[in-house]
Copies of this chain bind each other. A is one copy, B any other.
Amino acid sequence: MPARSVAARTRSDSKLDEDAEALYGALSDFIRAYQFRDRDRTYCHGLSVTQCYALEGVIRGAPLTLNELASHLFLDKSTVSRVVDALVEKRLVVRTPHVEDRRAVQLQPTANGRRLHRRVANEVRQGHKKLLEDVPRQTRGALIELVRRLAHLAQRRAGKPSAECSQP
């Protein structure tokens, strides 16, 4: 490392600190507000947010097992099992026994499930269009790219959750 580094690193680190702080502030504002929706017990068309995510996961990944869905959703398999119960109950998803591994199930959307998801996705897209309308057209691509990067990084972090946490 070159000689310039001490002062430079200090300066650049504190800039990074600042940026991290600012990012956190903005993200937590965003999440609090964005998630506001999530606090609605019943989301759209009688689906909770988790159910929406699960349905979407099934549609995007079908056929997939319960474990796969669980890790996609970052949820415990027991939780997902019950979420799937609800979706099955609503005739949006079917649990088929897995052909090769009789312990496993295969999750598949029903026609109903696809239809409902299309409707929900449309409404959600409307919301995001409203968000994007206020973003200058040229920067939209960059914004999306950056959010993708954030998602990617957050996913990596998700693997080891409680590393930096202590209990009272």
Contact = CB atoms under 8 A, between A and B. Distances in A.
B125 A21 contact: yes
B74 A39 contact: yes
B129 A17 contact: yes
Interface stretch (A93-101, A102-110, A157-165): A157-165
Interface residues of A, number: 73
A40 B72 CA distance: 17
27 contacts: A19-B132, A19-B140, A19-B141, A20-B128, A21-B125, A21-B128, A24-B124, A26-B150, A26-B151, A31-B35, A32-B53, A33-B155, A34-B151, A34-B154, A34-B158, A35-B74, A36-B161, A39-B75, A43-B165, A45-B167, A90-B168, A123-B164, A126-B164, A127-B157, A130-B153, A139-B142, A142-B146
